Chains A and B, each alone.
Chain A
Amino acid sequence: AQSVTQLGSHVSVSEGALVLLRCNYSSSVPPYLFWYVQYPNQGLQLLLKYTTGATLVKGINGFEAEFKKSETSFHLTKPSAHMSDAAEYFCAVSVEYKLSFGAGTTVTVRA
């Protein structure tokens, strides 16, 4: 069975500062990994994904994530936060037919 742990339910950053959202996973087989963003009362939008190949994955809106097998991690970063980045972020792992989510991290951006 697979599972996802997101460290920190809330993260507050200043505009222009680094955004770092942590995600660790457990899986008995090589996983596919995803980061999704959710704005209030909306569905989930895919930010980026890792399937195979290059371990540094670039996504939309300036986000990127690095797959580290030795650390079972898939942390999400953005060098410079923008006010529009305020949202909830979910890390997810897909094995076979199932997509399992972490509990989510709410990001607030201070002006």
Chain B
Amino acid sequence: SQTIHQWPATLVQPVGSPLSLECTVEGTSNPNLYWYRQAAGRGLQLLFYSVGIGQISSEVPQNLSASRPQDRQFILSSKKLLLSDSGFYLCAWRRSWGYTFGSGTRLTVV
């Protein structure tokens, strides 16, 4: 079956620590993958998208980076977290009929 997995569900990290969020899809090949962030009281902001292995497009300058090491794996990273990186991070997969979202990661930077 075709599914999207995202983990962890929640994460509390100190300022200055590194970050790695992972997203994987199953049951497809060469998917278009996306990372969105939802800050408190705000809409969803597109951070990165990828149309293939090693292909990353960044939408906004920020403290984050993304990588696509394998066809069905999309990773969101940071070397040093800032307080402003707190938020709800969603991975998405573009399918023929629309977009499917992962269950999200609630990141709190303290």
Contact = CB atoms under 8 A, between A and B. Distances in A.
Q: How extensive is the interface on chain A, given as a class?
A: 20 to 34
Residue of B51, B98, B102, B103 with most chain A CB atoms under a 10 A cut-off: B98
A92 B92 CA distance: 13
Contact of B98 (A42, A49, A103): A49
Interface of B: 6, 32, 34, 36, 42-44, 46, 49, 51, 57, 88, 90, 92, 94, 97-104, 106
B34 A99 contact: yes
Given A46-B98, A98-B49, A103 B43 contact: yes
Contact of A101 (B44, B88, B106): B44
A94 B57 CA distance: 16
Residue of B32, B90, B101 with most chain A CB atoms under a 10 A cut-off: B101
Looking at chain B's contact residues, the main secondary structure is strand
Give the 6 A-B residue pairs with the shortest CB-CB distance, closest first. Answer: A103-B43, A43-B101, A101-B44, A44-B101, A43-B103, A43-B104
A28 interface: no
A44 B106 CA distance: 14
A21 to B, nearest CB: 14
20 contacts: A34-B98, A41-B104, A42-B103, A42-B104, A43-B101, A43-B102, A44-B44, A44-B90, A46-B100, A49-B98, A90-B43, A94-B98, A97-B49, A97-B51, A98-B46, A98-B49, A99-B46, A99-B99, A102-B43, A104-B44
Contacts of A90: 43-44
A37 B42 CA distance: 15
A100 interface: yes
B64 to A, nearest CB: 18
A83 B44 CA distance: 25
A49 B97 contact: yes
